[in-house]
Chain A
Amino acid sequence: MAASMGKGGVTSFQKKSRTKTLQIPGTRPSSHGNQLLVSTGVPSLDHIIGGGIVVGTVLLVEEDSFGNYARLLMKYFMAEGIMTRHPLLLSSAELHPKQLLRDLPAPVSDDIGKAALHQENVSSEKNVEKEATMKIAWRYQNLRTEQPELGAFSQFGHYYDLSKTMSSEMTDTAPSRLFYLPDELPLEEQGMWNGIRNPAYVKLLQSIQDVVREGQFDLTVPQPKDMSRTVLRIGLHSLGSPLWGEQDGGTSHDTSLPHFLHALRGVLRTSLAACLITIPTHLFQDMAFTRRLEKLCDSVIRLESFAGSEKEQNPAYKDYHGLLYIKQLSQANSLLSYMPDCNDFAFKLRRKKFAVEKLHLPPELQDSQQREQDDPVAALKTPSTGCFSISGKSKLDF
């Protein structure tokens, strides 16, 4: 009987099941499906997408205009992977992945290293005593002997402090494979490419398949039972930007990127891996191309930041730094995806934390505009599902 992984780690509840469920640190079973979830690193984002990223699926983040917040989400994802000891695969075309890894936010609790050390020492001692069977308290035979501390590697969803960076020992010792496009692609292929498939995407797909095969993440290959399994975290930063060879903003009917996403999903479905991709879709002129990419990924969120736009001065948005739209949620192995209770989310980046919240409009105070068209707060009150226009009071309104 397998012990189920609760939030604190050890529970006495044991599910009666014949097959041994996978116990992987850093993951937890989904509450509304037979799926395994990994955390994105931002607990508030985890909550709105249904608990986390489902293992075997792709979370697509459509970048904001300058890509800052998408890069931050990628850093959180990688930091969470280091904290939970998941191997990483990070690819990027503009800045070197090593630079990205050097700048990860530091975890909040300080005794991470101490907890890990303590656990290893204790488990080595207790191994000797395990053979003696309990005579009186025989019900407790199968429970683990020591309690993991809070902040140990089995916790789901850590908190990070953005003002500090993660120590280089942690980032250097983490198993990771970095894919930097200018280094991986030979020089003659770095200019114009002809042919059907973009060589950059072909190379990236090959390296992902190699890592999945070598790291034994493939679920179709039978593994020895007592091998400890772990989840591979794949982060593809700023895919589909011009540096990847994407031409004409999607209007040129080039199918390399949809083909890559389709093949990537095929690899992920049969392996223990979770993927976070950021694509700068604001560079694509063709909306249909963006929609195709969204359909090829499992969960899609879009970030819209207020930096440099006229929404920055809007008093309704003064507490937030941008809006977050959930466009699609994953439906792997189930008929229905997770349904969030509201669809208006905003994010704010404070000095130490990045958080996603429900968008609350400020209260309408007495000194609002005389004309409702000019009032920015009233203009936002339009519900997205309203069937009648709110702008201007019609004389036919009762």
Chain B
Amino acid sequence: MLQQVLEGTEASSLVVIEDCVDHDGRPVFHCFCSQLAKRCESVHLFHLENPAGVFLEGANISKVQSHDGFSDPLQWEEQNRDPSSDRIDLASALDFLGHLKRTPVKTSPVAVVIDSLTPFLQNYPGYVICRALQRLLRARLESDGIEVSQVVAGFHGDLHDDSTAAALRHMATTWVQLQEGAESPTQGGAGFHGNCEVLHRRKSGKVIRQAEVYHISPQWSLTSRVQKAPVRPVAHVEQEAQVDPTANLTFNLRLTDTEKEARSRVVLPYMHHHRKKAPNKPAANPGGQIFYQPDDVDDFDEEDPDDDLDF
């Protein structure tokens, strides 16, 4: 799923990559940058935590427009206070679309990569970020002159509380949570690998949640595959073999075929008895007949004791 989102086979308007201290998201980010530079006409990179060069290594730089929020975000230096420059000012109102509109855009669609939402979330409340992202996503060619095809944003899960994460997760169409791996590259350039959990929402409404393993090559291309979930003991019911009660006995309880047939032919008692005695007994209840067979010791009295009852 991560690979499909990266390559564009799965359409996703807002991708959020959640990382933490143990599992760094920068390699995945780098892959997104280089892939988007190949796929889209122009890429806008808002970098606030790292210099631009970290992500642009190996990518087509001519297509990438970087907005600098790293060197002087709070505009301390006099020469950087020019409003027409490319710099992100954390003290003014947040407007990603405004930044995009300021640079002369020749082509569309445009992809936007935001290195991290953390500096924004530290300066503005969560809903301001959500509103700014939404303005980016719904920018249309006719009204704003620009159209954004995909936004990729980084999010540090251990720096923000649950409500902010929940609000962003509500907006995001793909949420990638990095879980393990992402070891530093060895000298041989073996690349990075790790586990992640991807929650992807399609436009049709279908939600896919998968645990995946990804691998990043030294040329910054990412491959991922679904990791087989460990077998839960609840889901798999072991069918106990039914114990055969006639086995392991000292006597024989089994029947041969002829014996089984003879058994089926046995007439059970009380099934269809002929009346042997008392033929003159009237059929008292025509619905059910009583068949009485007196024993030898039975005292069968012809005289009906109920005859003297007087009503």
Chain A interface residues (CB < 8 Å from chain B): 66-68, 94, 182, 190-192, 241-249, 251, 280, 282-285, 307-308, 313, 367-369, 374, 376
Contacts and interface: CB of A to CB of B under 8 A. Distances in A.
A251 B163 CA distance: 9
A182 B138 contact: yes
Interface string B87-103: 00000011100000000
A283 B134 contact: no
Interface string B272-309: 00000000000000000000000000000000000000
B230 to A, nearest CB: 13
B205 A367 contact: no
A280 B199 contact: no
Nearest to A241: B170
A66 B235 contact: no
Interface size class, chain B: 20 to 34
Contact of A285 (B128, B163, B170): B163
Name the residue among B138, B208, B234, B235 with the largest chain A CB count within 10 angstroms.
B234
Contacts of A374: 233-234
Contact of B130 (A243, A248, A369): A243
A191 B239 contact: no
Contacts of B81: none
Contacts of A241: 167, 170
A66 B201 contact: yes
A308 B237 contact: no
Contacts of A244: 127
A369 B237 contact: yes
Given A192-B128, A249-B162, 4 more contacts: A191-B124, A247-B125, A247-B127, A284-B163
Nearest to B237: A367
The 8 A-B pairs at the shortest CB distance, nearest first, are namely A249-B163, A242-B130, A308-B207, A242-B127, A307-B207, A68-B205, A242-B167, A308-B209
Contacts of B73: none
A292 B100 CA distance: 41
Interface in B120-154: 124-128, 130-132, 134-135, 138
B131 A242 contact: yes
Nearest to A373: B234
Interface of B: 93-95, 124-128, 130-132, 134-135, 138, 162-163, 166-167, 170-171, 199, 201, 205-209, 233-235, 237, 239
Given A285-B162, A307-B207, A369 B131 contact: no
A192 B138 CA distance: 19
Nearest to A285: B163
B170 A248 contact: no
Given A66-B201, A191-B93, A376 B234 contact: yes
B94 A283 contact: no
A307 B138 CA distance: 26
Given A190-B131, A367-B239, A242 B233 contact: no
Contacts of B127: 242-247
Contacts of A313: 235
Contact of A242 (B126, B135, B199, B209): B126
Contacts of B135: 182, 190
A329 B235 CA distance: 38
B210 to A, nearest CB: 10
B297 to A, nearest CB: 47
9 contacts: A191-B132, A241-B167, A242-B131, A245-B131, A247-B125, A248-B125, A248-B126, A285-B166, A367-B239
B25 to A, nearest CB: 22
Contacts of B206: 307
A243 B234 CA distance: 41
Nearest to B238: A370
B117 to A, nearest CB: 13
A163 B109 CA distance: 31
Contacts of B163: 248-249, 251, 283-285
Given A367-B239, A369-B234, A247 B138 contact: no
B99 to A, nearest CB: 14
A241 B233 CA distance: 39
Contacts of A246: 127
B126 A247 contact: yes
A386 to B, nearest CB: 23
A94 B133 CA distance: 11
Contact of A280 (B93, B170, B209): B170
Contact of B166 (A68, A191, A251, A283): A283
A243 B209 contact: no
Given A243-B134, A308-B199, A282 B233 contact: no
The winner among B94, B95, B205, B233 for most chain A CB atoms within 10 A is B205
Contacts of A248: 125-126, 163
B122 to A, nearest CB: 14
B125 A283 contact: no
B205 A191 contact: no
Nearest to A250: B163
B162 A191 contact: no
A94 B134 contact: yes
Given A248-B163, A249-B166, A66 B207 contact: yes
A248 B166 CA distance: 10
Contacts of B205: 66, 68
Contacts of B126: 242, 247-248
A234 to B, nearest CB: 23
A67 B135 CA distance: 20
A369 to B, nearest CB: 7
Contacts of B235: 313
A230 B108 CA distance: 47
